[in-house]
């Protein structure tokens, strides 16, 4: 290996190590019995018998791989059925399955905005959206997190533009579990005529009377121009999708998005599992009510125990601990006490806001909450 390159890599890794920010992979055993408070399988669908059976049946019918990029032979009848089902469920005319949420965001935001356009993005949008934005050549302004007054001010400040204005938000923020007011965003969109790109990754399955997301729950059904969602979180599978009212968005991705064109397509078994998951999710309104109650109970319990967490009913609770070494200390102790947790540190989150990102799931009993709080108190004492 080239010596200068090795030296550079060692230096940057040592820098991360020195500030408790070096990331390390830990292989999870299938027999790990710790309570999982880290992954995004909020409704437990990755192990749902109907979802698993659909995936297995597709493995037998189609084999283990799509074996090609979508424009060659990778796009199958299952992918087509899935995109149509997702679009109809969430109120859109057009859908396109993508390999990952990351590539869906980078394709949409790297491909649709151009030089001369303006992107107004929430300060905390996901890295995949920023990757796309940076590649697009459009001008970026970021507004304070969930601060729609600040967004409105920016919209007033901007002189008439030849280009397009894009507004980029999530519906449930991945590291904070909070949300903007989607109805207000919808009305701003009407007034100012921008193109609204909404990432519903963490809301799908959890919010809405049929589980289609926060737009449904907040009475802003299908209000965004473009929705990006993933199949790998609440839907318990893998992959992602882009929905739009205009057919040109889907067509542009098929024609111009390298992430779509030049990559082996999502395995049919993943698409089939996701399709089964959508059908399961639609009928899970009782489970959703229980999950929202669980979210309130965990937040209340943590606050009572002296830990400041925001109120809300999303699946994600940020337990903000500050410096990275403190965050790591908590994570190590919680893991030893039988909880699978992740220590989230910069650059994933802003400096000095290191946190344990708790993600809730079906089946967490009140006893788990009590023992989690005891373990937390054990670290802080």
Q: Please report which residue ranges of the chain form alpha helices under DSSP H.
A: 3-18, 49-62, 77-90, 101-111, 127-136, 148-157, 182-192, 214-217, 247-256, 258-261, 268-282, 285-304, 324-336, 366-380
State yes or no: is 41 an active-site residue.
no
By CB under 6 A, residue 146 contacts ligand PLP = no
Is residue 348 a contact residue for ligand PLP (CB under 6 A)?
no
Question: Annotated catalytic, 105?
Answer: no
315 near ligand PLP, judged by CB under 6 A: no
Residues 272-291 that bind ligand PLP (CB under 6 A): none
The rounded radius of gyration (Å) of the Cα atoms in the chain is: 21
Options 46, 76, 90, 105; binder of ligand PLP; rule CB under 6 A: 105
Min. distance of Cβ 105 from ligand PLP in angstroms?
6
Q: Please, which residue, 230 or 295, has the CB nearer to ligand PLP?
A: 230
Structure tokens at 353: 């806001």
Q: Binding mask 193-222 vs ligand PLP (x if CB under 6 A, - otherwise)?
A: ------x-xx--------------------
Query: Tokens 């005319």, residue?
Result: 93
Helix (H, G, I), strand (E, B) or coil at 170: strand
Q: CB atoms < 10 A from the CB of 68, how many?
A: 13
40 labelled catalytic: yes
| Nearest residue relative to ligand PLP (C-beta) | 101
Give the residue carrying structure tokens 């009475």. Answer: 219
Q: Distance between CA atoms of 132 and 164, rounded to whole angstroms?
A: 16
Residue 42 binds ligand PLP, judged by CB under 6 A: no
Q: How far is the CB of 26 from ligand PLP (least distance, A)?
A: 18
Is there binding between residue 46 and ligand PLP (CB under 6 A)? no
By CB under 6 A, is residue 232 in contact with ligand PLP?
yes
Alpha carbons 80 and 76: distance in angstroms, whole number: 6
- Asked whether the CA dihedral 259, 261, 263, 267 is positive or negative, the reply is positive
Contact between 226 and ligand PLP by CB under 6 A: the answer reads: no
Instruction: Report the DSSP pairing between strands 195-199 and 165-170.
Output: parallel
Nearer residue to ligand PLP within complex by CB, 204 or 327: 204
Decide if residue 237 touches ligand PLP (CB under 6 A): no
Interaction site with ligand PLP (CB under 6 A): 100-102, 105, 126, 128, 170, 174, 199, 201-202, 230, 232, 240
What is the set of active-site residues? Answer: 40, 126, 170, 174, 199, 202, 233
């Amino acid at each position: 290996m080239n010596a200068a390159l090795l030296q550079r890599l060692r230096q940057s890794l040592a820098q991360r190590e020195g500030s408790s920010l070096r990331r390390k992979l830990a292989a999870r055993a299938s027999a790990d019995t710790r309570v999982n408070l880290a992954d995004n399988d909020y409704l437990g669908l990755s192990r749902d018998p109907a979802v698993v059976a659909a995936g297995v049946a597709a493995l037998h019918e189609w084999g283990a791989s799509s074996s090609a990029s979508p424009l060659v032979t990778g796009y199958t009848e299952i992918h087509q059925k899935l995109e149509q089902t997702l679009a109809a469920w969430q109120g859109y005319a057009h859908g396109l399955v993508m390999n990952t949420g990351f590539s869906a965001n980078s394709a949409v935001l790297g491909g649709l905005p151009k030089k001369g356009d303006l992107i107004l993005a929430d300060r905390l949008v996901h890295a995949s959206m920023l990757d796309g934005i940076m590649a697009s050549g459009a001008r970026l302004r970021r507004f304070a997190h969930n601060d729609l007054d600040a967004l409105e001010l920016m919209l007033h400040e901007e002189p008439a533009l030849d280009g397009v204005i894009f507004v980029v938000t999530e519906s449930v923020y991945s590291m904070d579990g909070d949300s903007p007011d989607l109805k207000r965003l919808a009305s701003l969109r009407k007034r100012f005529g921008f193109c609204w790109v909404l990432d519903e990754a963490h809301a799908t399955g959890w919010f809405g009377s049929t589980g289609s997301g926060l737009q449904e729950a907040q009475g802003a059904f299908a209000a965004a121009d473009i929705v990006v969602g993933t199949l790998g979180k609440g839907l318990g599978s893998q992959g992602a999708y882009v929905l739009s009212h205009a057919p040109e968005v889907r067509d542009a991705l098929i024609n111009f998005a390298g992430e779509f064109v030049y990559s082996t397509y999502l395995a049919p078994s993943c698409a089939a599992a996701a399709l089964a998951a959508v059908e399961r999710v639609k009928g899970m309104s009782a489970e959703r009510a229980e999950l929202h109650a669980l979210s309130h109970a965990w937040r209340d319990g943590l606050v009572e125990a002296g830990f400041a967490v925001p109120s809300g009913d999303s699946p994600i609770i940020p337990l903000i601990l500050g410096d990275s070494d403190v965050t790591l200390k908590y994570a190590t102790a919680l893991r030893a006490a039988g909880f699978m947790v992740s220590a989230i540190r910069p650059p994933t989150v802003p400096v000095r806001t290191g946190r344990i990102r708790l993600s809730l799931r079906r089946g967490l009993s009140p006893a788990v909450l009590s023992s989690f709080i005891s373990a937390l108190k054990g670290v802080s004492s």
